[in-house]
Amino acid sequence: MAILEGKKLLITGVLTADSLAYGVAELAQREGAEVVLTSFGRPMRLTERTARKLDPVPDVLELDVTNADHLQAVQAELKERWGRVDGALHAIGFAPETCLGDDFMAPDWDDVATAVQISAYSLRSLADVVSPLMTEGGSLVGLTFDATVSWPAYNWMGVAKAALESLNRYLARELGSQQIRSNLVAAGPMKTIAAKSIPGFAAFEDEWQKRAPLGWDVTNSEGVSKACVALLSDWFPQTTGSIVHVDGGYHTIGA
């Protein structure tokens, strides 16, 4: 039996077939899950076009995580459609241009607040949507980029990811009594649209490929997909509040 047989999953963050979330959605379907995707605004057409590459083609629900009406509508739709939710993938991140690049001191609070709300607080927003529907327990899985150290150019997105990693631990504590797990997968750099928006990110890719003990292929997200699907399954029933590194072992190497 496939490890996600019968599971109902909400998947955020699919833009193109190169998106990490797309790989998770594709593998989740192969492992027996029924999935629904989310998007909003101008990218929604791109998500809908990408969704047609999946089999079966999933529906795409409108969800801006900063919009309370969207959050309520998605919850109502999932309740009517499935009655319950078994898991959700948080693959949401955004920071204004001033928050990335060479000048850490450049952004004002409004820009930083946007980065933190969309990239970190949105995990709590997603939990608000799905946790009441996880009547048989469930699994929240989010994507992060190792925030235990500072990175060139990543700047305030790194701060937002640190907030995300802390929030993951607090959600694990808060939701554990409902048998809802919350974990993150810290992926190494991949060639995605999100990565292209970060100035100098190509240097991360080059460094990873040189130094990761297991090697690293910036075009192959299979390891990330497998880790997320495993955490969404019942194979880690006692694991919560954790960060699973899928980076070829790079996080173990000192400067």
Residues recognised as catalytic = 154, 161
Encoded amino acid at 92, one letter: I
The Cα 228–Cα 87 span in angstroms is: 11
Question: How many Å apart are CA 232 and CA 202, to the nearest integer?
Answer: 30
* Closest to 64 in 3D by CA, of 42, 86, 87: 42
For residue 120, give the DSSP letter.
I
Pull the structure tokens for residue 235.
């194979």
User: What type of residue is 34?
Assistant: E
- Long-range contacts for 92-99 (Cβ within 8 Å, ≥24 apart)? 92/12, 92/13, 92/65, 92/118, 92/119, 92/122, 92/123, 92/126, 93/118, 93/119, 93/143, 93/157, 93/160, 93/161, 93/194, 94/118, 94/119, 95/119, 95/156, 95/157, 95/160, 99/155, 99/156, 99/157
* Cis before 107 (ω within 30): no
